């Protein structure tokens, strides 16, 4: 039974457009939690739960909400089910973070938290991650992003390593022009002070009356939404494609696909198995706008060798993209040659040629592998 005066657990919403760096920031917090127990709710837009696989939470403290935006959960009751799981006393959590999907409407999540009747939680603030490299263009396409910033308590200007100072200033100005009263901090790879998370009310300098007014606005908006549906939500314009293959991907074909991806295909994430191209490693793949990155990591001992990708975009032909990806698979007799067990066999040049050819086939991929000093 919950003790009558059990402390309330702050629930922080972590939002930000597709690929802005939410999972990266969350993993930073989880790795630097200094003894605090952090519960995590992740909400992926896409049938394969890539974020849930990449969040490094403690066992039993992560709940995944799967496909679709949490902001469109029918009512706050749905969220309460997940909060009830995480607030059971045995979980002993100090803070709960909801990582919203990159297309969620954060004000909807805040509204749900405010309406929650779980006595063990209280709303702990909204952290909005902004991709310094992409924000100006994204805002042009989606002016509704402004309303996300106005509800935020803390804006993390992430990826400052990817932009020159002048551009960063322009992004800061754009954020300020939304009328957001949030504190703004710059970050690289989401490395913010973990203390910010446990700060009960992140927007400290603002008095409670102003905050209360913002909340009332939110609840009023919610009533209007209930009448008008979710047509103006960001995710209404986006589609996702999920692709899984137990057959390895051909590195050259996959690179040709990635190099010619349509501009509407804004986000790709997941893991790639290049088979004989690199037997030892899974390749995490991230595309955000024009940015592309592979991060190899050793396969776990019992892990199924499998490619799992989620593609998210606007105005994309989902079936055609799925087919194009299927055509990137290796096929017996057509795909990269198997790497020989040992170098030359003494029976001719072919095995060494095969090894060289395999290595060459991975060059295109390796161009996009993050170098250790890039962090
Ligand atoms: N250069 C650079 N890359 C970053 C930074 N932060 C994150 N990234 C990269 O950006 C890509 C997307 O980061 P994620 O943390 O997955 O972004 P996300 O917001 O969780 O993505 P969605 O859940 O799909 O919306 C990854 O390749 C990250 O390594 C940064 O500060 N600088």
Is 307 touching ligand 1 by the criterion CB < 6 Å? no
Contacts of 18 (CB under 8 A, 6+ apart): 45, 102, 103, 266, 267, 288, 312
Q: Residue 213 Cα, ligand 1 centroid: separation in angstroms?
A: 33
Q: How far apart are CA 234 and CA 174, in angstroms?
A: 19
Q: What is the pLDDT of residue 116?
A: 84
Helix (H, G, I), strand (E, B) or coil at 40: strand
Nearest CA, atom 21, ligand 1: 19
pTM of the predicted model as reported, rounded to 2 decimal places = 0.86
- Positive or negative, the CA dihedral 138, 65, 242, 282 is positive
When computed from its CA atoms, the radius of gyration of the chain, rounded to whole angstroms, is 23
Please name the residues in contact with 4: beta carbons below 8 A apart, sequence gap of 6 or more: none
What atom in ligand 1 is closest to the CA of residue 293?
Answer: 27
Determine the pLDDT at residue 218.
Answer: 57
ipTM above 0.90, yes or no: yes
> Which architecture does CATH list for 238-374?
2-Layer Sandwich (3.30)
- CA count, 13 A, side-chain hemisphere, 177: 10
The pLDDT value given to residue 343: 44
The pLDDT value given to residue 351: 67
Give me the CATH code for the 9-228 domain, please.
3.40.50.300
pLDDT value of residue 354:
75
Mutate to test the pocket of ligand 1, among 15, 16, 19 (most ligand atoms within 8 A of CB): 19
- Weakly modelled stretches of the chain, pLDDT under 50: 74, 200-201, 203-205, 209, 333, 335, 342-346, 348, 375
Ligand 1 centre from 271 Cα, in Å?
Answer: 15
Location of each CATH 3.30.1220.10 domain in the chain: 238-374
Shortest-distance atom of ligand 1 to CA 286: 27
The answer to whether 151 touches 107, Cβ cutoff 8 Å, is: yes
Q: Which pLDDT score is estimated for 269? A: 94
Where, residue-wise, is CATH 3.40.50.300 in the chain? 9-228
Q: Among 14, 15, 23, which is best to mutate for testing ligand 1, by the most ligand atoms less than 8 A from CB?
A: 23
Atom of ligand 1 nearest to the CA of 103: 25
Q: Which of 13, 15, 17, 24 to mutate to test the pocket of ligand 1 (most atoms within 8 A of CB)?
A: 24
Res 91: pLDDT: 82
The contacts of residue 371 (CB under 8 Å, 6+ apart) are: none
Q: What is the pLDDT of residue 362?
A: 94
By the 10 Å C-beta count (0-12 exposed, 13-18 middle, 19+ buried), 299 is classed as middle
| CB of 203 closer than 8 Å to CB of 125 | yes
């Amino acid at each position: 039974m919950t003790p009558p005066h059990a402390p309330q657990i702050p629930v922080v919403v972590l939002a930000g457009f597709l690929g802005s760096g939410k999972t990266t920031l969350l993993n930073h917090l989880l790795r630097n939690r200094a003894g605090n127990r952090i519960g995590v709710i992740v909400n992926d837009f896409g049938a394969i739960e890539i974020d849930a696989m990449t969040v490094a939470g403690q066992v039993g403290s992560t709940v995944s909400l799967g496909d679709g935006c949490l902001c469109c959960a029918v009512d706050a009751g749905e969220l309460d089910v997940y909060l009830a799981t995480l607030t059971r006393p045995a979980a002993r959590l100090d803070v709960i973070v909801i990582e919203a999907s990159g297309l969620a409407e954060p004000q909807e999540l805040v509204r749900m938290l405010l309406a929650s009747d779980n006595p063990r939680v209280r709303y702990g603030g909204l952290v909005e991650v902004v991709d310094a490299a992409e924000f100006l263009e994204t805002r042009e396409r989606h002016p509704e992003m402004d309303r996300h910033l106005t509800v935020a308590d803390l804006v993390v200007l992430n990826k400052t390593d990817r932009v020159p100072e002048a551009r960063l200033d322009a992004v800061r100005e754009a954020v300020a022009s939304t009328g957001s009263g949030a504190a703004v901090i710059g970050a690289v790879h989401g490395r913010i002070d973990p203390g910010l998370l446990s700060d009960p009310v992140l927007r400290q300098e603002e008095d409670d009356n102003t905050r209360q007014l913002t909340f009332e606005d939110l609840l009023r908006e919610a009533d209007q939404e209930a009448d008008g549906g979710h047509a103006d939500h960001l995710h209404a314009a986006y589609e996702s494609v999920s692709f899984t293959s137990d057959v390895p991907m051909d590195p050259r074909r996959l690179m040709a696909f990635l190099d010619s991806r349509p501009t509407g295909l804004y986000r790709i994430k997941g893991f790639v198995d290049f088979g004989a191209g690199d037997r030892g490693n899974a390749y995490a793949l991230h595309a955000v706008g024009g940015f592309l990155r592979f991060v190899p990591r050793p396969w776990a001992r019992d892990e199924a060798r499998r490619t799992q990708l989620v593609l998210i975009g606007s105005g994309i032909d989902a079936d055609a993209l799925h087919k194009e990806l299927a055509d990137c698979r290796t096929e017996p007799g057509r795909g990269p040659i198997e790497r020989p067990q040992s170098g030359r066999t003494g029976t001719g040049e072919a095995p060494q040629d095969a090894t060289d050819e395999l290595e060459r086939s991975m060059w295109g991929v390796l161009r996009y592998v993050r170098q250790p000093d890039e962090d």
